[in-house]
Structure 1
């Protein structure tokens, strides 16, 4: 967490020293997130439903050419969704098992590291942009089934913190595109779409605590990005 704020401070300091090359702004990103879940057929982890999430971010674009910029900033994002898996009672002779749903919602502090490519003006004061790269995210709050603690009825009602179910780091691939409109001398409006594909297995409970094998749970987010640069 401290490292993220130090990076942000360095970016702001750079903006002060070279304001002609740096654009700073804010954006909000309503999004739809879901969890890509998979495992062997014995537990059959799967995605069940998505959730509406929301993000707010400081954006910093450092231009190293007229149409090229290093895009970064700092964001507070919400991710998650509902997954299901099969629980089998070892004392039962049934091979069917019970399907269990689990809703996971996590808030992250996220640092994007991207390249932004801008077109020349396609209309007066209007340019398209394309963004690609990745992001690093650290979870700061997690709820399972809307609770901060999870009591597992299939594991002797053992109670654990919801935050302990999620790995301490998430890494995402990021692809985006949008339009930027010059509203004034230094004011710009932007609107775009972005896709954030989680690359890290978030599961820190089922394999570690329950002994399930080869469980993989990863984030997926589709976002609408609306912002303003100053």
Structure 2
């Protein structure tokens, strides 16, 4: 947590120098995953609501194009079961995400209200992993990074000279297999993350 706070302070300082628009984002997220193996005996094991928070920074490229980045704390899960339910495991994962995306704004649809769409990717660094039950032994080691595709849409409302409120949603599809090493019999196990996020925050 100290490293996360320190990184936020660094990003805020850089934002001040570069004259970017800084903001805070709070996001309820639904974390799920796509689990499979070659024999197709492994299945997904549901989804779970979590909570993400972080600092964002938007740099104007033109009146309608913005480069968006930030530093986001993003919790996820890896959960799977086999077809006959003799194996059912869940692991907690936590990442620091550095997203890089392009925000494209339309014209105002109401006074001070602009919709946007967002597309990009990013780098996620795993900072924590833990088995829900200490007896779980299938996944022995997790991959230290993930790279998601990020697609989103939302609306920004300029509430004042220096304050902008925003709300929207995003879909994040992890491209990297989070399983680095697995127990015998599960060497071909693949678990990739999927996150649906409701993005709420303000920029100042």
Indicate whether the TM-score tops 0.5. yes
The aligned counterpart of 1:15 is 15
Give the alignment of 1:1-230 within 5 angstroms: 9=10, 12-19=12-19, 22-41=20-39, 44-85=41-82, 99-145=86-132, 147=133, 149-152=134-137, 165-206=141-182, 209-230=183-204
In structure 1, C-alpha distance between the alignment counterparts of 2:15 and 2:186, rounded to whole Å: 49
In structure 2, C-alpha distance between the alignment counterparts of 1:172 and 1:71, rounded to whole Å: 15
In structure 2, C-alpha distance between the alignment counterparts of 1:62 and 1:223, rounded to whole Å: 22
SS in 2 for 1:49: coil
In structure 1, C-alpha distance between the alignment counterparts of 2:34 and 2:136, rounded to whole Å: 23
The two structures, once aligned, show a CA RMSD in angstroms of 2.3
Q: Are 2:121 and 2:149, in contact at CA under 8 Å, matched by a contact in 1?
A: yes
Q: Are 2:105 and 2:115, in contact at CA under 8 Å, matched by a contact in 1?
A: yes
- The structure-2 alpha-carbon separation of the partners of 1:27 and 1:98, relative to structure 1 and needing over 3 Å to count, comes to closer
- The structure-2 alpha-carbon separation of the partners of 1:6 and 1:108, relative to structure 1 and needing over 3 Å to count, comes to closer
Deviation at 1:150, TM superposition (A): 4.5
TM-score (norm 2): 0.88
Q: Are 1:67 and 1:118, in contact at CA under 8 Å, matched by a contact in 2?
A: yes
In structure 2, C-alpha distance between the alignment counterparts of 1:173 and 1:226, rounded to whole Å: 20
The one-character-per-residue Cα deviations of 1:10-55 (angstroms, maximum 9, x if unpaired) are x545532342xx21000111011111001122x6111021111110
In structure 2, C-alpha distance between the alignment counterparts of 1:150 and 1:175, rounded to whole Å: 37
Greater C-alpha Rg:
1
The one-character-per-residue Cα deviations of 1:96-120 (angstroms, maximum 9, x if unpaired) are x762100122111110011111112
The one-character-per-residue Cα deviations of 1:149-170 (angstroms, maximum 9, x if unpaired) are 4553xx8xxxxxx8x5311111
Unaligned runs of 5+ residues in structure 1 are 87-96, 156-161
In structure 1, C-alpha distance between the alignment counterparts of 2:70 and 2:32, rounded to whole Å: 24
Q: Are 1:51 and 1:81, in contact at CA under 8 Å, matched by a contact in 2?
A: no
Unaligned runs of 5+ residues in structure 2 are none
- The structure-2 alpha-carbon separation of the partners of 1:117 and 1:16, relative to structure 1 and needing over 3 Å to count, comes to same
TM-score (norm 1): 0.79
Count of aligned positions: 200
